[in-house]
Amino acid sequence: MNVRGIYDQCFGPIPDGTVYKDPAGFSGRTVDLRPQLKSYHWANLKALATTSGGIGTAGQALVPIFVDPSIVDQERRETPMREIIPRVSNMGITADWNERTAKGDASSKLEDAPLADNDDTYDRYTLPIRYYYSIGRVTGPLQAAMPAGTFEDYTTTQFPNAKSLETAARTADLAVREEIDIISGNPGGTFTAGGATTTDTCYDANSALASAQSGIKDQISDENQDDQAGAAITLDDVNDLINLCWEDGGRPSVLLTDGRTVTDLKALMSQQLRIAPSTSVAWGFQTVAFEGPRGTLPMIQSQVVRTTAGAGSGTIFASKSILALDMAHIENRILQDYTYEPLAKTNDSDKFMVKYYGAVCVKGVNTSDATSFHGSIIDIA
C-alpha cells in the first residue's frame, strides 16, 4: 500500500503532524486549513466537462440547448409601392371614376359670329375590387410550448406567443402579395408569387384566370412605350420617356424599375455628371435620383419585378423595364383594409385570416387616342 500517496491525497504538501483544525485553540493557535485542503482534494478529482453525462437530446446531457429567440425572415421583400400609393376608401365592389377624354376647345371669332357649342367627351372607368386572404393556424401544443421572441422582417416585431408570430408572418405575406399585384409584377429568381397563376383573386396580368382587374403595368397599356428590343438603356432613353409623358399632360414623379437597371443608370449618371444624385423621399429613406428634363425623380427599386435581360422579344412583364409614373393619378381604392378575423374552431388549434379588399387605379390613360400621363421602357438588356 502506498501510504505516502494516500497521505498526499488527503493533506497535500503540509508536513506530518501539522494541526489543520483547532477552532477552540487547544493547541495554542487558532487554525483551519480545511478550505485549502478541500481545494486540493477537488483538484485531484476528475473535472466535469461538456461531455459529462453522455449524449442527451440534440447535444450533451448536462448542457441544455439555448435557441436564439430572434427569427429572421429569409423570404422578406420590400413593399415600397404599397406604402407610397395613396389608400383611398371605396364604397361598393367596384372602383369608378370619370375622366375628360376629349375637349371641345375654344376659338377666336369675328364680331357677332355664330356661337356653336364646344362639346367635351367624358368617359366612365371602372375596376372590380379584389379580395385578398392570408390564412394562419396555430395548434394548442405549440401555443403552450413556444416561448416569446422577435420576428425580424425589415422591422422587428416582438411576439409574446406562437399565435402572434403566425399573425405577423401572415400579414407580411399579404403585404408582399399586394405589392406584386399592384405592380403586376413577375418575380424571378428564388422568389415565387404564390398562387397567383391558379386563382382568380389578384390583379396580376400573368394569372391564367385574371379578369378585367389589372395592376399598374397592365393599366398603363402600351401608350408612351419604348421597346428597347434587347438594347442597353441610355440616359437619353429615360429623358425621352419623361418628355413623352409630359407632352401628354402628365407630370411623372417617380421611376419604377428593378435594382439592376438602377445600377446601370447610376453608372451612366456618374460618367456624365461625375456624381449619382440621391434624394430623400416621403416614406423616410434615401434613394438614387434621376436628373431628368422635368427635374429630380426618385427611382423606386422593386424586388418583385423581373431582372431578366431583354433579348429582343421581351414584354413589360418578362424582362427588365422602367415605368415613369405620375403618382398624383394613381391610388389604391380600399373597400376594407387589413383586418384580422378568427375562423371556426374545429380542433385543438386557432385558425384565422388576415384579409383586405382593394384595387389599384391608374388614371390619365386614354387608349383611344394613345395618350397617357404615364409610360414605360421595356425589353431592356
pLDDT, tens digit only, all 381 positions of the chain: 565 666 676 667 777 767 666 666 666 655 556 566 555 554 455 566 777 666 666 666 777 778 899 999 998 898 999 999 999 999 999 999 999 998 888 899 999 999 999 999 999 999 999 999 999 999 999 999 999 999 998 888 899 999 999 999 999 999 998 998 899 855 554 444 444 433 333 333 334 334 334 799 989 988 899 999 999 999 999 999 999 999 999 999 999 999 999 999 999 988 876 666 666 655 566 788 998 998 889 999 999 888 888 888 778 888 899 999 999 999 999 999 999 999 999 999 999 999 999 999 999 999 887 889 999 999 999
Nearest of 276, 371, 374 to residue 322 by alpha carbon: 374
What are the boundaries of each domain within the chain?
92-102+122-146+220-380
Cα–Cα distance for residue pair 334/97, rounded to 1 Å: 14
Nearest of 217, 262, 205, 214 to residue 380 by alpha carbon: 262
Give Cα 68 distance to the centre of its chain: 23
Which pLDDT value is given to residue 245?
96
List 149's β-bridge partners, or say none: 159
Distance set, CA 354 to CA 128, 274, 366 (Å): 20, 48, 36
Cα–Cα distance for residue pair 260/273, rounded to 1 Å: 20
Cell of 148: 416569446
Distance set, CA 369 to CA 175, 222, 248 (Å): 35, 12, 11
Cell of 212: 378585367
SS3 category, 268: helix
Cα–Cα distance for residue pair 370/197, rounded to 1 Å: 30
SS3 category, 4: helix
b/e map 347-360, b = 16+ CB within 10 Å:
eeebbbbbbbbbbb
Which pLDDT value is given to residue 21?
66
List 331's β-bridge partners, or say none: 361
Cα–Cα distance for residue pair 322/55, rounded to 1 Å: 58
Are 69 and 56 contacting, i.e. CB atoms less than 8 angstroms apart?
Answer: no
Can you give the C-alpha Rg of the chain in angstroms? 35
